[in-house]
Structure 1
Amino acid sequence: MKSYSAAVALAGFVSSVAAHGYITSPAPRLPGDGLKAACGDQVYNQQSSDHYGNVQGSIQNLQGDHPDCRIWQCKGVPFSDAGEVFSYTAGQVIPMTVEIRAPHDGVANVSVVKVSSDTVIGAPLISWDQYALTSSPLSEHPDWTSFDITMPDVSSECANAGDCVIQWYWNAASIDQTYEACIDFTMGGGSSGTVPASSASAAPATSATPKASSAPASSAPASSAPATSAAPTATVPASTPTPSSVEVVATPTATAGSGSDSTLPETFTIDSFITWLRANAGSDAANKVRRMVAARRAHPRAFEL
């Protein structure tokens, strides 16, 4: 006899699975009171206890209506939670360090993002079409966790604190988990005499990136972040509630059995399953599964084809 317990266990497992990654240097935004105000206590509690977690896990913990929660931008952590705001110049080389606590096959990039429009400025500063593979030890790929980026001239877009961020983005699509972290910075029109110590190593724009052959900027499609485009070609609008891939796995036949029956029907769609779960397990369990389904949608700036 089937019951809702397996589904509830799965929902809890997916939200608690810890595939981890976050920027450790330069100092990124960390969850604070701004995240709590924008996205609610549950999201704040989850991220403050483990800021290495994934975006989808935060979505599953959204409770109620939060119109100011921009969960796909910097994992919802707003500028009000910014710590240090770095001052960079065009052509400056910035050493970056990422901590990956658990690898999962995916793609990744680092880009300058215009906060107000949530769009990438220009092309990714560095990208990987294979990132954090479980089949290859992290020790064999130091370029996944320690690398340099060269700052483009974004002085006209990023003159003020809060205008832009450097965003590290890792998407492990096979397990539907996405990781983000953001660095706040400004860029004036000329040379800066007050570059923070953690970003003080400046170099010409032609400086090489470590192991560039394994992660050339050209590995991302040219359409991923055109300078004049509001979003990459492969984007899915943020308003899309559920991707087509979720609908495909739902059984497209009429629901068998009654929603009031505690036995799980042999065939069902996503909607009828959530209705059945609400009747047999309560609204909390049903809403959790509904949020899981919604979390499977693509990132608004997904750059892979």
Structure 2
Amino acid sequence: MKQFTPALAFASIVSLVNAHGFVTSPEPRMPGAAMKAACGNQVEVNQQSDNYGNIQGELQVAASQSDYNAGECDIWLCKGYKFADNKANVQSYTAGQKVAFTVDIRAPHTGVANVSVVDTSSNSVIGSPLISWDVYASTATGVTSDETSFSVTIPDDLGSQCDTAGDCVLQWYWYAESIDQTYESCVDFTLGGSGSSSNSSGSSSAVVSAATSAASSTVAAAQSTTSEVVVATSVPTVAVQTPVASAAQTTFATSTRQSATASAEPEAATSVASTASAASAALPFPTGSAEDILSWIESLVGNLVGN
């Protein structure tokens, strides 16, 4: 049978008192094995039971623990929570992107607060806070909606400082001055625009593909045109007694016209030549007086009309 001891009662009371505030979205760092190794077993257990607690409460627990290593724990950075325990929780952002935050505050205590980009290697703020409050979670007014639901914009001047996971965090920081308690939550993120690079690569591929397709079409069209010209110029030239084609006509049109004319007119030309030959043979050109020549012409006309 379990016995209720003063120690358990004290732990429960401390847990309830410490439960004040924590970020719930985006997904923040949480305690784990790496934190336990650096900060000690009891400090990690304290945060597992109440991640809403404050840093001063962690230090009270650590003060009596021999396995607490202040240097390795680095408790003022993300309350000692380690990147090694949170590699699956890294967010990916781009410069200028708006990031929505949700904070759960279970008990108000007047203080100041901000959200900043923090360099984890030096535990220093990069640039200026992305958002800040001079009065936060006031006991006089209560917690306001803009203190628990808000957005921050990822700076566009971070360069390559936050390209590698674990190098940077978005840190929500609340110092409740009225009771001297500090609350922190950290969101690991990377900044590099891998999605944009991928899109750019895709766009480049599309451009290359389009250019290749256009070049292929141009070659095909050129080949088709060349083929037509060869076919056109391969039509035999036939000598006929017809007017010369206009210079505006294409070679293909001229050749076609010449072929059609050649097939239509040889029969008529042959007929005329035969008639003239027959007339010439039947009626030889006379010699003599003008009266004889006139008579010959009348006879020739008569023969032509009769035919």
Q: Would you call these one fold, judging by a TM-score over 0.5?
A: yes
Question: How far 1:155 moved relative to its partner?
Answer: 3.7
1:13–1:24 distance in 2 versus 1, CA, 3 Å: closer
Q: Does 1:150 align with 2:153?
A: yes
1:184–1:41 distance in 2 versus 1, CA, 3 Å: same
Question: How far 1:161 moved relative to its partner?
Answer: 0.3
- Measured in 2, the distance between the counterparts of 1:192 and 1:75 equals 34
Q: Does 1:167 align with 2:171?
A: yes
Question: How far 1:85 moved relative to its partner?
Answer: 0.6
Does the CA contact (< 8 Å) of 1:88 and 1:192 recur in 2? Answer: no
Does the CA contact (< 8 Å) of 1:91 and 1:150 recur in 2? Answer: yes
Runs of at least 5 residues in structure 2 that lack an aligned partner in the other structure: 1-9, 199-307
Which stretches of structure 1, 4 residues or longer, exceed 6 Å deviation after superposition?
12-16
Corresponding pairs, count: 184
TM-score, normalisation: structure 1:
0.57
- Measured in 2, the distance between the counterparts of 1:147 and 1:84 equals 20
Q: Does 1:187 align with 2:191?
A: yes
Match of 1:60 in 2: 60
1:17–1:123 distance in 2 versus 1, CA, 3 Å: same
Structure of greater Rg: 2
Counterpart among 130, 134, 140 of residue 129 in structure 1: 134
Q: Does 1:90 align with 2:109?
A: no
- Measured in 2, the distance between the counterparts of 1:142 and 1:68 equals 37
Question: How far 1:59 moved relative to its partner?
Answer: 0.6
Structure 1, residues 41-65: CA drift from partner, whole Å, max 9, x if none?
A: 1110100001000000001111124
Does the CA contact (< 8 Å) of 1:87 and 1:192 recur in 2? Answer: no
Question: How far 1:171 moved relative to its partner?
Answer: 0.1
- Measured in 2, the distance between the counterparts of 1:88 and 1:19 equals 30
- Measured in 2, the distance between the counterparts of 1:89 and 1:180 equals 23
Secondary structure of 2:114's aligned partner? strand
Relative contact order (C-alpha < 8 Å, sep 6+): which is higher? 1
- Measured in 2, the distance between the counterparts of 1:192 and 1:167 equals 25
1:118–1:127 distance in 2 versus 1, CA, 3 Å: same
Q: Does 1:101 align with 2:140?
A: no
Q: Percent identity, aligned pairs only?
A: 59
User: Larger % of helix: which?
Assistant: 2
TM-score, normalisation: structure 2:
0.56
1:43–1:192 distance in 2 versus 1, CA, 3 Å: farther
Q: Pairwise CA RMSD of aligned residues? A: 2.4
1:112–1:13 distance in 2 versus 1, CA, 3 Å: same
1:145–1:16 distance in 2 versus 1, CA, 3 Å: closer
Does the CA contact (< 8 Å) of 1:34 and 1:81 recur in 2? Answer: yes
- Measured in 2, the distance between the counterparts of 1:98 and 1:193 equals 32
Corresponding letter in the other structure for 2:54: N
Question: How far 1:13 moved relative to its partner?
Answer: 7.2
Question: How far 1:34 moved relative to its partner?
Answer: 1.2
Corresponding letter in the other structure for 1:124: P
